[in-house]
Amino acid sequence: MLTFDYLRAESHEDALAKIQAEEARFLGGGTNLVDLMRETIEAPRTLVDVTGLSTSIEETVDGGVLIGAAAKNTAVAESRLIRERYPILARAILAGASAQIRNMATVGGNLLQRTRCYYFYDNEAARCNKRVPGAGCDAVHGFNRIHAILGSSDACVATHPSDMCVALAALDALVHVEGGEGRRVVPLTRFHTLPGASPQIETVLKPGELITALELPATSANLGGTYRKVRDRASYAFALVSVAATLAVDGGTVTGARLALGGVAHKPWRAEKAEGLLVGRPAIADTFRAAAEAELAAARPLRDNGFKVPLAIRTITAVLEELAA
């Protein structure tokens, strides 16, 4: 049984002071961290509860929305501001986990949840570079049906599990962070990292930094869009492939597109190549399929997950057809 100290933060400043304790971790809803502690994958000596910090969902001066990092996923999905201006985000959140978990999970915690790779969770027998850097990756030659096809490395083929983050990537969301060196704002598309040779490093957060808020820019408001998740069962399952997309069409020609993929990479995957090939082209299935194929041309499927390549292409094409209609 793990023993740890529990501290409750009363403010951002208080949280940053308390996190200086030895081997301390911030605690949001605990829907991922507590599981990892039970599996002895994580063993923090101090937990700093930050659920009492900002839960607000407010309009910004320029017409965007600022969401406190302690806001529950359910509250975000049910917010009128979100449903009316950023419906793609509400749909993505509702596609994730179960109602009970969404009621507990926080926005900040969702950004930081860790992979559900089987070998990462097998602390007894499996080699995993995320758990023990340099140990090796048993998933590369193991059962890798759910693993990455884009942006992976020989050191790690795990995928990022979040639905919410895929929508945030498409919306150009910004992550507000505070730490010992002050405040900074990180684009969501740059917040998570690809594995490279150091898959244990999953975000650009520095030691002791705290996510304080998530910002949805005004430039991403009222774009409509949708989120589609392909999974093995209808609920409580992680994506094999997911697509978050918005599409603007004028006179039958694509004038703007946002496209992000989930279930295919170590981070939410912004499909920038496909976006560039869509703009200025006819809003028809052939255009959508060609853009999807170009994006997936860099895929490196493993033994068991080659099906994800055509699945991603078909899903992207179908989602864009739906939006064009």
SS3 149: coil
| Residue 263 lies inside a defined structural domain of this protein | yes
In a domain, 179, yes or no: no
* Interatomic CA distance for residues 236 and 273, integer angstroms: 31
| pLDDT (0 to 100) of residue 16 | 96
Angle 308-324/285-296 helices, nearest 10 degrees?
150
Q: What pLDDT, in 10s, does the model give residues 147-206? A: 999 999 999 999 999 999 999 999 999 999 999 999 999 999 999 999 999 999 999 999
Q: What is the pTM of this model?
A: 0.97
Give the pLDDT band of residue 97 (cuts 50, 70, 90): confident
pLDDT of residue 2: 81
Domain assignment present for 258: yes
- Counted domains in the chain: 2
Q: How does DSSP assign 21-38, residue by residue? A: STTEEEESS-TTHHHHHH
Asked if residue 9 belongs to a domain, the reply is yes
**Contact (CB, 8 A) for 205 and 218:** no
Residues 284-297: pLDDT tens digits? 999 999 999 999 99
Residue of 140, 146, 260, 239 lying closest to 199 (CA atoms): 140
Q: Is 146:240 a contact under the CB 8 Å cutoff? A: yes
Summary mean pLDDT of the chain? 97
Confidence band for 33, pLDDT divided at 50, 70 and 90: very high
Q: What is the CATH number of the domain that holds 277?
A: 3.30.390.50
Alpha-carbon dihedral of residues 294, 299, 305, 311, nearest 10 degrees? -10
The distance of Cα 138 from the centroid of its chain, to the nearest Å, equals 24
Residue 242 lies in a domain: yes
Q: What percent of the chain has pLDDT over 70?
A: 100
What are the two backbone dihedrals, phi and then psi, of residue 174, each rounded to the nearest 5 degrees?
-120, 140
Q: Report the alpha-carbon distance of residue 129 to residue 117 in Å, rounded.
A: 12
pLDDT, tens digit (0-9, with 9 covering 90-100), for 185-201: 999 999 999 999 999 99
What's 40's domain CATH number? 3.30.43.10
Q: What is the pLDDT of residue 117?
A: 98
Of the residues 18, 35, 51, which one is the last residue of a structural domain? 51
Q: What phi and psi, each to the nearest 5 degrees, are found at residue 316?
A: -60, -45
* DSSP per-residue string spanning 77-138: HH-HHHHHH-HHHHHHHHTSS-HHHHHH-BHHHHHHPPP--HHHH-TTT---TTTSTTS--T
Q: Indicate the DSSP class of residue 205.
A: P
CA dist 86 and 77 (Å) reads 10
Q: Dihedral through CA 307, CA 259, CA 323, CA 73, nearest 10?
A: 90
pLDDT at 4 over 90: yes
Domain of residue 300, residue span: 226-324
DSSP strands (E only) in the chain = 5-8, 24-27, 46-49, 57-59, 65-68, 174-179, 182-187, 210-216, 226-230, 241-250, 253-262, 269-270
Tokens linked to 155? 């050191």
The answer to the question of residue 147 being in a domain is no
What's the half-sphere exposure (Cβ side, CA atoms, 13 Å) at 214? 30
pLDDT, tens digit (0-9, with 9 covering 90-100), for 206-217 = 999 999 999 999
Pick from 297, 291, 293: nearest CA to 323: 291
The token duo for 297 is 């041309």
Examine residue 66 and state whether it is found in any structural domain, yes or no: no
In a domain, 36, yes or no: yes
